[in-house]
Amino acid sequence: MSESLPAQRTGTRSENNVVRVLALGTAQIVGWGSSTYLPAVIATPVCEDLGMSPEMFFGAFSLALLAMACAGPATGRYIDRHGGRRVLLLSNFVLAAGLLMLSQAGSIIGLYAAWCVMGLGMALGLYDAVFAALVAQHAKAAGRLIVGVSLVGGFASTVGWPASTWVIEHWGWRTCCQAWAVAHLLIALPVYWRLVPPGRAMPQSTPAARPQPSTTPPPGSRARQLGLLCIFSGATAFVTSAMAVHLPALLLAKGATFGQAVFAGVLLGPAQVVARLVEFGLTQRLKVHPLTTARFATALHPVACISLGLFGMASGLGPLFSVLHGAGNGMISVARGVLPLALFGASGYGAVTGRLAVFGRTAQAFAPIAFALVLAQYGPGAALSLSGALSMVALLALLRLRAGSG
């Protein structure tokens, strides 16, 4: 009888982790669907309603990303010291307030003010904050939870875009923003209240365990590793942001029909989710180091760029480009969460990811404008060369990292 108790506890703990992953992933779908994925569907009706250009609208979103980048380091440090519950609960109120402000915006000033508030809420409540909260509670054991939450959260565009579009078609974009605000308070807020414990996990004493060698790299090595991760974060964030906005236009410029471009865009979400499933199997089941999967993922975009650049839309390379980019991007989004944990350990994880977010979110903010200028002025070949070259820079940074450092 006594021998069955450990197995029973293990089974219960595993079931609790599944529930936690599904619930936190659902909260992330609400967070991403109401923020990062919202501009793509409300841009046109907002511009028509407020009489502004798309460039002015997306400028507001870029401002939100800059606000998110500025708030990231302080958010991460707070979670390191106090845990993530208060931050995540606050994120729901801030995002709900920003969405209500957005729904009432009657001018450019009101729109920009709303997105500034949204940017702060995004820093408090999206992946970086949730991952830091999990690490503060579970230390290195959080790696599996991070991958699981990323997997469920990968459906944010699959759920968010159709849901927002349906509400806009029936009741307008202002009601859409208000509906997302309600979702934060009725769905995400109870999840964080119930499943994110207050405070940090207390260090457990294990006197019988053999002492383990330190996994923290020396100060000089740590600074070098962190610098390389910052390069990886900034370069890949630029590519992710540019493709999220301009992928259809890029394919059209390479000779795709409108239907082909739309079909290629639809493939992005499934490719991301399937790639995250593969990554989960490699890192959690086969114990492949996250650095290895990150290198493989980062290499996929340059391969896609070379194929599309050389052959254009011949032989269905538009969908292939979308699948390769989507698969790589899906795995990279997980790598941004698990690589700092694998390389540096749990201590100071929130501060590290907050610093990485400064580079990533800043690059993400300027990417749509910069990529649009290159595409318009120099054509799709130059645009592909730019994104492919940045991915190669990110890959070279990863190749200089050492898996044994963490």
105-159 pLDDT, tens digit per residue, is 999 999 999 999 999 999 999 999 999 999 998 888 888 888 889 888 878 877 8
Residue that is written with structure tokens 């090595």 in the block: 221
Tokens 């996994």 sit on residue: 215
For the record, the structure tokens of 323 come out as: 């699948």
Residues 397 and 259 in one domain: yes
Same domain, 245 and 174: no
Coil, helix or strand at residue 205: coil
Domain membership flag for residue 79: yes
The confidence score (pLDDT) of residue 79 equals: 94
> Please, are residues 298 and 271 in contact by the beta-carbon 8 Å criterion?
no
Q: Are 33 and 153 in contact (CB under 8 A)?
A: no
pLDDT surpassing 90 at residue 316: no
314: pLDDT strictly greater than 90: no
**Winning range, highest mean pLDDT, from 271-275, 302-306, 330-334:** 302-306
pLDDT band at residue 210 under the 50/70/90 scheme: very low
In a domain, 209, yes or no: no
**What is the rounded distance in angstroms from the CA atom of residue 127 to the CA atom of residue 28?**
7
Q: Can you give the CATH number for the domain in which 43 is found?
A: 1.20.1250.20
Please check whether residue 61 is in contact with residue 46, taking contact to mean a CB–CB distance below 8 angstroms. no
Question: Do residues 91 and 65 lie in contact, with contact meaning Cβ atoms separated by under 8 Å?
Answer: no
Residue 131 amino acid letter: F
- 7, part of any domain: no
Full DSSP string of 5-21: HHHHHHHHHHHHHHHHH
Read off the pLDDT of residues 228-269 as tens digits, 9 standing for 90 and up: 999 999 999 999 888 877 777 788 888 877 777 777 777 777
User: Within this chain, do residues 150 and 238 fall inside the same structural domain, yes or no?
Assistant: no
121 and 164 both lie in a single domain: yes
pLDDT at 330 over 70: yes
**What is the pLDDT, as a whole number, of residue 10?**
46
Residue span of the structural domain in which 99 resides:
15-195
pLDDT at position 129? 93
Q: What is the pLDDT of residue 406?
A: 41
Query: Are 177 and 228 members of one domain?
Result: no
DSSP 75-118: HHHHHHHH-SHHHHHHHHHHHHHHHHHHHT--SHHHHHHHHHHH
For residue 5, being part of any structural domain is answered with no
**pLDDT for residue 201:** 63
Q: How many domains does the chain have?
A: 2
Please indicate, yes or no, if residue 201 is contained in any of the structural domains: no
Tokens of 277: 């499933």
Among 180, 195, 210, residue at a domain's last position: 195
Task: Tell whether 259 and 338 lie within a shared domain.
Answer: yes
Q: Point out the domain boundary residue: 160, 195, 230.
A: 195
Specify the pLDDT at position 388: 94
pLDDT, residue 207, reads: 41
Sign of the Cα torsion 218, 222, 140, 296 reads negative
What average pLDDT does this structure show over 313-322?
Answer: 72
pLDDT in tens, 359-385: 888 898 888 888 888 988 899 899 999
Same domain, 82 and 154: yes
User: How far apart, in whole angstroms, are the C-alpha atoms of residue 190 and residue 177?
Assistant: 20
User: Which of 179, 195, 211 corresponds to the end of one domain?
Assistant: 195
Phi, psi of 24 (to 5 degrees): -65, -35
pLDDT of res. 98: 98
Note whether residue 2 is domain-resident. Answer: no
Note the pLDDT tens digit of each residue in 30-74. Answer: 999 999 889 878 988 999 999 998 888 888 988 999 999 899 899
In this structure, what DSSP letter does residue 316 have?
G
Does residue 6 form part of some domain? Answer: no
Is the pTM higher than 0.75?
Answer: yes
Do 168 and 294 fall within a single domain? no
Q: Are residues 186 and 58 in the same domain?
A: yes
Query: 185 and 254: one domain?
Result: no
Decide which of 274 and 208 is more confident.
Answer: 274
Hey, what's the torsion of the CAs at 112, 118, 122, 125, to 10 degrees? Answer: 170
Residue 214 confidence (pLDDT): 44
As to burial, measured by CB atoms within 10 angstroms (0-12 exposed, 13-18 middle, 19+ buried), residue 110 is: middle
Average pLDDT of the chain, as a whole number: 85
Same-domain status, 182 and 118: yes
**Contact (Cβ atoms closer than 8 angstroms) between residue 305 and residue 247:** no
Q: How far apart are CA 406 and CA 403, in angstroms?
A: 7
Can you say how many angstroms the Cα of residue 92 is from the centroid of all Cα atoms in its chain? 17
Residue at 63 is within a domain? yes
Q: Which residue, among 228, 196, 333, has the nearest Cα to 272 in the 3D structure?
A: 333
**Tokens standing for residue 315:** 């032989």
> Taking 70 as the threshold, does the pLDDT of residue 317 lie above it?
no
226 & 189 share domain: no
Residue 236 and residue 389: Cα distance in Å, rounded? 11
